[in-house]
Amino acid sequence: MQTTPFFTDDTIVFGLLMLLLGFVFYTSSIKEGFWKKFYIIFPSLLMCYLLPSIFSSLNIISPEWKELGENGELVTKKSNIYYVASRFLLPAALVLMTLSIDLKAMFKLGPKALLMFFTGTVGIILGGPIAILIVSIFSPETVGGAGPDAVWRGLTTLAGSWIGGGANQAAMLEIFKYNQEKYGAMVLVDIVVANIWMAVLLFGIGRKEKIDKWLKADNSAIEELKEKVSTYSAGVTRNPSLTDLMIILAIAFTTVGLSHWGSNSISSYLSANFEVVKDLTSFWSTFGDRFFWMVTIATFLGIALSFTPLKQFEGAGASKIGSVFIYILVASIGMKMDLGSVLKNPGLLVVGLIWMAFHVALLIGMAKLIRAPYFFLAVGSKANVGGAASAPIVASAFHPSLASVGVLLAVFGYVVGTYGALISAILMEIAAPK
């Protein structure tokens, strides 16, 4: 938790984030000199992510901080930018970026996407106990503890978060009753390690051709899908009129409204009528999560609209507007990353880094074995570790039409998250020093 940042007004912070995005896009458009060389090394998407994190680390902006209240007590304050970006702009982006999708071609991507996703899941399940075993050799106190203070109990919340998402993380906290006062350290490890891996993935996207060559990957199905979408887009491209832009925004935000209405209604109905949905220890608890339903409904509606005449608005720039929303989401996620926090709780961070390294090593090994392209490795990982907020960002960095692939895989993560984390928890308890 930080002290009060220099800018606390969300209007000003949003303006600053947009300035950073504008700066990155302007400098990356310069095709000669220093900036050309710079963006060969550091992809523009990575910089859209890192620059807000640098500002957050310098305490110029912050997603959360404490300040003195009227009665002299410390009050927690939060920025609403990430909430707005993930609840309003994310579903809008999903609709606009799936409007031109060719569903038949997407299914032709084959089983490799699912295989890489589940490999990532296994990497998280096994990575936790392996990290505990390794760290216990040279620092048993870091992964020790007893009762509610047992570190393995806290690490189960990471397993829930990294396989599914926030709902699964909350379920693990409820099931294993980890000491709430120490829970903040687990949240820190979650954010820091996941964001470091996100930065590495974004860096790799700029070198995807070299990585695919090293993996000896067959990415013909991905290229075919991209080609189909690009060909369709080129065939209907036109200079958008004000009417086109207004209709595109109407499609996007009407769907956002329907997604929220549907998610609230379904979640409330299921929670009110099925006790098993309210039970956080149950597999079915995921279906009571509003964010899960919001993402699912938005993706379904986007795919449904791709079979209607509204698909032609891709030619007026629908996916480009969706990409704008995605980049704003990227900046808001980057803002949550405080690089200075890497130095806090070094022991637990080592556990998290070993854990993530095992997840990555397993993914690389499987990708090499089945010759899966880097796209499947990156999206399969983020569908686990980042969920529906991050998977479409990584997928759309390869091509806007691929965003829905990331979301569909992330939905699997929500469904298997709690039970995958429970298996990991059992193994971590066994591995923890007694």
Cα 236 → chain centroid: 32
**pLDDT score for 280:** 63
**pLDDT score for 284:** 67
**Please, which pLDDT band fits residue 72 given cuts at 50, 70 and 90?**
confident
Question: Bigger pLDDT: 240 or 102?
Answer: 240
Mean pLDDT across 115-144: 91
The tens digit of pLDDT for each residue in 397-430 reads: 888 778 778 877 887 777 777 778 889 988 998 9
Question: Bigger pLDDT: 73 or 199?
Answer: 199
Average pLDDT, the chain: 85
The tens digit of pLDDT for each residue in 302-352 reads: 888 988 999 889 888 888 898 899 889 889 888 887 777 666 668 888 999
The tens digit of pLDDT for each residue in 22-61 reads: 999 999 999 888 998 888 788 787 888 889 989 988 889 9
pLDDT at 283 over 60: no
**pLDDT score for 414:** 73
Question: Bigger pLDDT: 107 or 265?
Answer: 265
- Kindly list the domain boundaries of the chain, sorted by start residue: 10-79, 84-431
The tens digit of pLDDT for each residue in 254-269 reads: 999 999 999 999 988 8
